[in-house]
Amino acid sequence: MRIQLACLLLLFATVVSQDANARYKKFIKQHINGRMSANQCDAVIGSRHITKTDSNECKETNTFIRATTKLVKPICGRAGEPYGQLTKSLLPFDIVVCTLKNQQARYPNCQYRGQARTRQIAIRCENGLPVHYERDIVSFEN
């Protein structure tokens, strides 16, 4: 009985880990671009086929973090702090926020307006990996 339970727990841990890895890869595709500029939203979102989940509808907003995964991944550890159910970066990041200009458009006709910002970011982490970009955070320092 103990062996069966151990095997079941190992199988569950493997499935959860694989699921988090798949979400991490999607996070990278949708939100990491170290060379992104505000005027590249249409091209990058189009080439990466970023749409609303399970549809061909254009996303209202998509944010790109201008950094490498080596800088973003540590937010889920020592470079982040709890922020409700999320994790907030300790340091600000350069980001590009792409906002849909043509409402109700469908891929591949999405047109975006990009805006560069520097903000702390809030993400969801699973198994030590970033899996969801939630929002940027304006912080006021004294």
Q: Is 132 a catalytic residue?
A: yes
Q: Is 49 a catalytic residue?
A: no
Long-range contacts of 12-20 (CB under 8 A, 24+ apart): 16/126, 16/127, 17/127, 19/126, 20/126, 20/127, 20/129, 20/131
SS3 at position 54: coil
Catalytic, out of 26, 117, 124, 132? 132
- Quick one: tokens of 22? 């798949």
Catalytic, out of 24, 27, 31, 58? 31
Residues that are catalytic: 31, 132
